[in-house]
Structure 1
Amino acid sequence: MWTKHHKKRYLGRFVVPLLTAAFLCYFGYHSVHGAFGLKATEELKRRQAVREARLAELVEARKTLEKEVALMSDGSIERDILDEKARFALNLSRPDEIVIFHAGSN
């Protein structure tokens, strides 16, 4: 019976550990820097906070507008609301009035 004897190769011992280390490095890198990694998650949370703040501003603006519409559309338009809207739309004021413009007002 013939048998072959191989010399022990020292390089063969390192193949599996090197492949394992390569896979771990690849997946480790992408778990931090990838499209769904830790850094992308932080950016997503930051954008979510900014958009929630913007949503709160828009909700407040909508409530204000709904309140103004309710005052004007219930059948009896209040004189001060009508006067305010007309002056703003026509860009008019009395000579004895002081007009203060706010940056956020329309």
Structure 2
Amino acid sequence: MLGPAVAVAMLSYFGYHAFNGELGLVGKAAIENQVAELESELAQLKEQRLIMQRRVFLLMPDSLDPDMVDERARASLNLVHPNEVAILRN
């Protein structure tokens, strides 16, 4: 009598955790939601990285863009001409 009762108890325990556990059927939905959130964050970070790479490319000596150099120099030195209007962005 003790053997079948222990077997049923173990089966119930493992069955419960297979369904409701962290890695069970219920937990799978939470993991899938987290994966979707992280993939969207990765896409945003890749886009930001591409934007930064383009800006860095414009400052490289081989492909120096005069407008970019002027913009960075003015931002660093905080200088403008008296007849110019400065619009600052983050």
Q: Percent identity?
A: 33
Structure 2 match to 1:75? 62
Structure 1 match to 2:74? 87
Bigger proportion of residues as helix? 2
- TM-score, normalized by length of structure 2? 0.69
Shift of 1:79: 1.5
Higher mean C-alpha displacement, 49-58 vs 24-33: 24-33
Q: Against the structure 1 CA distance between its residues 77 and 53, is the aligned structure 2 distance closer, same or farther, given a 3 Å change threshold?
A: same
Structure 2: state its 5+ residue gaps: none
Aligned length: 89
CA displacement, residues 59-93 of structure 1 (integer Å, 9 cap, x when unaligned): 11111111122222142421211122223334444
Work out the CA distance in 1 between the residues paired with 2:37 and 2:45. Answer: 12
Structure 2 match to 1:9? none
CA RMSD of aligned residues (A): 2.7
- TM-score, normalized by length of structure 1? 0.61
Structure with larger Rg: 1
Q: Against the structure 1 CA distance between its residues 93 and 40, is the aligned structure 2 distance closer, same or farther, given a 3 Å change threshold?
A: farther
- Given the alignment of the two structures, is residue 39 of structure 1 paired with residue 26 of structure 2, yes or no? yes
Structure 2 match to 1:99? 87
CA displacement, residues 13-48 of structure 1 (integer Å, 9 cap, x when unaligned): xx73x5554334212210122232123222221221
Structure 1 match to 2:48? 61
Question: Contact 2:57–2:63 at 8 Å: present in 1 too?
Answer: no
Structure 2 match to 1:5? none
